Structure 1
């Protein structure tokens, strides 16, 4: 199995180092899970000191970011214009570069040129809520994600849906506390049986500086076509931060795997200026799923096609 780490999410630097990506680790094709093999997320005693500390930490970070004018939810505006050249350049950095490379089953930050990756078959997303998230918040989050998935399907023209039966899913989103995350190994193994022990250990050991993350897998026979994905989002997050993680991780799991400091207005940028998918990001996703592009294309192969697609999608009035 080829596993690509798509996002380390919001890692704190001088500001916050957000999400990122690395190339996939192929799997024997089997995104579907056999009936009756998916256990529930086990309840844990708690919250632990680590979980309580994480909740305070994330609440403080969100307040600081909002006070500085970051984590915007307006999708961009007149203060952040962009044109076809911006779209073309940003697409190449976000879709055709990796932020992580895999060494010994673990992911190490390293910017490298990559080939185009995306889903070709339908994307069926399942939400797995840990007991640490109250039922009222689970219902709220489910509605938010459902509406967001409809938006992604419209923007990409690709079949993307939220499914209630996790055995039908090939994209699993785990919304858990740090305590639940530590015990998530058997459930991750159940939904992705071919996943290596080192990668599962990394998923269950992410520190609080890894705000959220997504890992996408491809098969050996089609290494640039995603077959499954797993995202991790923390219940210790306050609402806005958790919503931002849904927006970024689910979109990155569709193939926009990298971040770029020049991408603006965009959630694919470590500066965390924007919390929600922007009009710029919608255009990047539309380009990614245009049939004139093909999985496996190199930056050199894709560049002239992307330039045409960007010109077709540039905002009216841009130069």
Structure 2
């Protein structure tokens, strides 16, 4: 289930609110939406193979496949046995078709799954039903999108949602699943939902905070399926495994299976990773969850940092704790926020598989630099991180960084370059943020960070 995704950009909004009164907001966009630049999208590109040892990947596979996100254990592994056909129902936005087609190509090529799209009126193992966001969240308030077993429509799910019919723990062989996603959100959010929910419809049902390179992680830094994710799905559908196998049976097969599918992983060092404890997860969920007052959320983030340090974690779990603390300290304690972001960035930057996370931190630090009158520093931070944002195919992150870059260039007197960068940012913003009003709001918020724009 994909939760709220506001974490990454919330600090930019908070910083904009701290930038001081704006006497004359610059007119960045033409009045006519038709004059906006065309929406930009990412071309197909090769993804990086996982960089961890097969010993660690086997542990990840088992923990992903034999436990729910809630912590409930799964007695056996469930999967489809045979070809998987996908249909789309409801009012799908124009971007869904191309993004789904690209994802299905990847699943066939990289994961070896026999999967294809069929017409909306045909029978299918996977139904993707598109709904208005408000209708979806009236029934499931905490979900941006989700997947359910043994149903093929929203009405069917509504009737069965409190019954064992949609209980994944009772499933052995998957025959029908439905993915419910909103159609009135940005193209990127639709695409992100497609990637995460189709991956769970096909494969593992759990998320693990310890994973540095996966959409199967509730930190939500990765928005499209990674090389690790495709390896997990390829193993999940390998002929060596079958629906109904127990954890012990799968554990016996995995070493040989991974040695065949990922021979480089057999040569890498790295042992088992300490499990993520429930007390840390509870604090992180409190820190990031809606409906909790900000002071309590910040206390929860501080506790998450303390737990991670006490457990001896020096990996992405500590970094994510610091990232959450930095976000929640904005507008309250700027020094604490900056220190937390710097700590998170140091951990992320040290690992090749966490460059996307490092780019998110760099975006926040660049916003700090811009708002404090250091445009050269802001420019350097953005330029160093643009490649990671592009490789991660995160248009909202990329657009935000380019908007910061444009403001930095303006502050340095490089107006011509700033105009070109800003136009590029708008094209990505149309994919990342969607509605023209959202694009305008983001651009003005970033402009408000620059001291030169303030009254």
What is the TM-score with the length of structure 2 in the denominator?
Answer: 0.44
Corresponding residue to 2:65 among 61, 74, 95:
95
Q: State how far apart, in whole Å, the 2-side matches of 1:231 and 1:140 are.
A: 17
1:249 corresponds to: 197
Greater relative contact order (Cα 8 A, min sep 6): structure 1 or 2? 1
Could you give the per-residue CA deviations for residues 221-278 of structure 1, whole angstroms, max 9, x where no partner exists?
x941110010011124322222111100011100211111122310001111210100
Specify which structure has the higher proportion of helix: 2
5+ residue gaps in structure 2? Answer: 14-41, 152-164, 270-455
Distance 1:270 1:223 in 2: 23
Distance 2:61 2:209 in 1: 12
Q: Work out which of the two has the higher radius of gyration on C-alpha atoms and give 1 or 2.
A: 2
1:63 shift after superposition:
3.0
Deviation, structure 1 residue 174:
1.3
Question: How many residues are matched?
Answer: 220
In structure 1, the residue matched to 2:54 is 84
Encode CA deviations 1:37-74: one digit per residue, 9 max, x unaligned: xxxxxxxxxxxxxxxxxxxxxxx55634899xxxxx99
What secondary structure sits across from 2:148 in the alignment?
Answer: strand
Residue 148 of structure 2 corresponds to which residue in structure 1? Answer: 215
1:269 aligns with 2:269: no
Q: How far apart, CA to CA, are the structure 2 residues paired with 1:65 and 1:272?
A: 16
Distance of 1:158 and 1:283 partners within structure 2: 11
Q: Which residue of the partner structure matches residue 292 of structure 2?
A: none
Q: Decide which of 263, 268, 276 is 1:318's aligned counterpart.
A: 268
Counterpart residue number, 1:291? 239
- Alignment partners' CA distance in 1, 2:46 and 2:197: 17
The correspondence of residues 66-215 of structure 1 with structure 2, limited to 5 A, is: 81-99=51-69, 109-130=70-91, 138-181=93-136, 205-207=139-141, 209-215=142-148
Q: How far has the Cα of 1:166 moved from its partner? A: 2.9
Q: SS of 1:174's equivalent? A: strand
Q: 1:280 aligns with which of 199, 203, 228?
A: 228
Q: What is the distance in 2 between the residues matched to 1:240 and 1:181?
A: 18
Report whether the alignment pairs 1:9 with 2:20. no
Distance 2:75 2:192 in 1: 26
- Asked whether the 8 Å contact 1:83–1:315 carries over to 2, the reply is no
CA distance, structure 1, for counterparts of residue 72 and residue 52 of structure 2: 24
Q: 1:237 to 1:315 in 2, by over 3 A?
A: farther
Note if contact 1:62-1:241 (Cα within 8 Å) is conserved in structure 2: no
Alpha-carbon distance in 2 for matches of 1:161, 1:307: 30
The one-character-per-residue Cα deviations of 1:137-169 (angstroms, maximum 9, x if unpaired) are x33210110121121122333321111233322
Q: 1:306 to 1:64 in 2, by over 3 A?
A: farther
Distance of 1:159 and 1:227 partners within structure 2:
14
Equivalent-residue separation in structure 1 for 2:11 and 2:174 (angstroms): 33
**Separation (CA, whole Å) in 2 of partners of 1:86 and 1:161:** 31
RMSD between aligned alpha carbons?
3.0
C-alpha displacement of 1:315: 6.2
Give me the whole-angstrom Cα distance separating, in 1, the residues matched to 2:200 and 2:188.
18
TM-score by length of 1: 0.61
Cα distance in 2 for residues equivalent to 1:81 and 1:157: 20
Matches of 1:126 and 1:66, distance apart in 2:
38
User: Any stretches of 5+ residues in structure 1 without a counterpart?
Assistant: 1-7, 17-59, 68-72, 100-108, 183-203
The offset of 1:179, in angstroms, is: 4.4
